[in-house]
Structure 1
């Protein structure tokens, strides 16, 4: 009896590492909390195939827009299946707690950063019919008649970047909120709104096609793909810099071993020549971090944007 018991215990002990290695044992979902076509969606679809190959499981990209990104984020924060991931604008997520009086989740406690993937500066663009060719002319025009400024969502990073420019220059914007970057871009291309600030990854194709006119880049230095376009800092807003950071997060309870494995695979994928070149050609920079570095970055972003939110008086009940 004792021999049989010991044998059974030994077999179970030997099986435990194998079971742990079986993750993932079903398809994974990458939830993008915005409509299709935005920067996060573009990156999610760029990495889903290679990630599926690496993990030997199907990886599905699922868009869950709503409540300025909070619907999809809350869904992932409460997921406990070990196979639901979140890919979003990390800056926007860091802003959320400062903008909303109440949230169904706590981004600092309920989510865990796995890997940073990419960064793209914001582009300040206008509909081609707007008679302005630089920031100064745009500001002067807005002071005569306030201009409709499309924002991906109230309290989003592009919205607060617009607020910062407005405060620094005296511009007069009339903010028009949307449910995501693709819708904000679409209405600006159609001329329903006149001004837009949005991530370069999703906006550059419309600049290159002539459907939008770019007046400034929100980076400390000019970007090679738009070398002729001055930065917003060059045009009088000293030190101005903002952008869209895409990263992958998981529910806080996901085991460390799975987080480590995901980070390693995603870092390899995003640095691979085919994915890197695809993103760089659209204006994004590959930007990787360890989970610990991600956590520190998120806290810095949260504190930094909290100051901008307070200065702009942006609040949602």
Structure 2
């Protein structure tokens, strides 16, 4: 019996030592970073900037692969089923908890089917409309949306855009229906062209088009006005506290990743997030970096997933 215990202890020690060595040498080949949206959107921009910084820190190439579709669940499912060796990672937004929340039995459960490596950052949302609507402020927009039905662009059923717009629609008693796209870039292109009326997306994603005069900024989704857009009212200022919402980005991997490897990637991620370059990239367009532990990120994902399941039921957001 003592021999068996000794052999078992030795096996465990060897496995732990091997896992620790693997984490320390990681990565020793290129890493794929999956983005679940089409190029040009907020998650894609954040993912590509992060890929460059992590690649430089690791001395390895980080290849960005765009896999849009199914409200991020297509890409998320592929990562969930990948080898948990750290060479296939996923950058996703709050949409990962929302798109799953509308499913009675989700294809991918963000709480259980992914490893939560760490948070990246967050940003309020900016509601912007097509210039063809002929409105220049929230009062004019609300009056129009009360008098006629408007089409709002989203990046898919169960996306952050849909949840945020439906919550605003309910709070302000507006008439709006969704039109779904594969990503933020094609969605905003149609708003700019007047084929859709509005888009409610991350400030970092929408603000370049507002600055260029291609879209008209209406409001931000925060409790107070944004320092980046001080002339626009916030939903909190307008008395719609239930409509306060922000987007966040996080780094995920397949379920079952070794704890030492997760800690290694999390530490490298946090180091990158605390660089002036990363802070400037996020803050110049209204976002901010957020770093922390895998456990903190897990608690956030699990909590929001439960919350959005309730909101989906209340707002009637269901797969089409």
TM-score (norm 1): 0.91
Q: Deviations over 1:201-232 (max 9, x none)?
A: 11110011111111100001111110111102
2:129 is aligned with 1:126: yes
Residue in 2 that maps onto 1:24? 27
Q: Do 1:220 and 1:240's aligned partners in 2 also have CA atoms closer than 8 Å?
A: no
Q: Do 1:135 and 1:232's aligned partners in 2 also have CA atoms closer than 8 Å?
A: no
Q: 1:87 aligns with which of 91, 105, 116?
A: 91
2:215 is aligned with 1:200: no
1:63-142 pair list within 5 angstroms: 63-80=66-83, 82=85, 83-89=87-93, 91-142=94-145
Task: After TM superposition, give the deviation of residue 116 of structure 1 in Å.
Answer: 0.6
Task: After TM superposition, give the deviation of residue 25 of structure 1 in Å.
Answer: 2.5
Residue in 2 that maps onto 1:5? none
Q: Deviations over 1:291-314 (max 9, x none)?
A: 000011112211222222111111
DSSP 3-state at the match of 1:123? strand
Q: Do 1:101 and 1:316's aligned partners in 2 also have CA atoms closer than 8 Å?
A: no
Please say which of residues 163-172 and 124-133 is displaced more in the overlay: 124-133
Residue in 1 that maps onto 2:313? 310
Residue in 1 that maps onto 2:194? 191
Residue in 1 that maps onto 2:269? 266
Task: After TM superposition, give the deviation of residue 19 of structure 1 in Å.
Answer: 5.0
Task: After TM superposition, give the deviation of residue 287 of structure 1 in Å.
Answer: 1.3
Task: After TM superposition, give the deviation of residue 69 of structure 1 in Å.
Answer: 1.1
Q: Do 2:70 and 2:157's aligned partners in 1 also have CA atoms closer than 8 Å?
A: no
TM-score (norm 2): 0.90
1:229-240 pair list within 5 angstroms: 229-240=232-243
2:77 is aligned with 1:57: no
Q: Do 2:23 and 2:264's aligned partners in 1 also have CA atoms closer than 8 Å?
A: no
Distance of 2:22 and 2:247 partners within structure 1: 38
DSSP 3-state at the match of 2:132? coil
Q: 2:171 aligns with which of 164, 168, 178?
A: 168
Equivalenced residue count is 306
Please say which of residues 149-158 and 15-24 is displaced more in the overlay: 15-24
Task: After TM superposition, give the deviation of residue 79 of structure 1 in Å.
Answer: 0.2
Distance of 2:169 and 2:180 partners within structure 1: 16
Task: After TM superposition, give the deviation of residue 20 of structure 1 in Å.
Answer: 5.1
Please say which of residues 297-306 and 63-72 is displaced more in the overlay: 297-306
Distance of 1:210 and 1:189 partners within structure 2: 10
1:196-235 pair list within 5 angstroms: 196-235=199-238
Q: Deviations over 1:55-110 (max 9, x none)?
A: 22211111011112111110100001511000011x21111332123433322111
Residue in 2 that maps onto 1:3? none
Q: 1:252 aligns with which of 251, 255, 261?
A: 255
Q: Supply the RMSD in Å over aligned alpha carbons.
A: 2.0
Distance of 1:141 and 1:192 partners within structure 2: 17
Residue in 2 that maps onto 1:280? 283
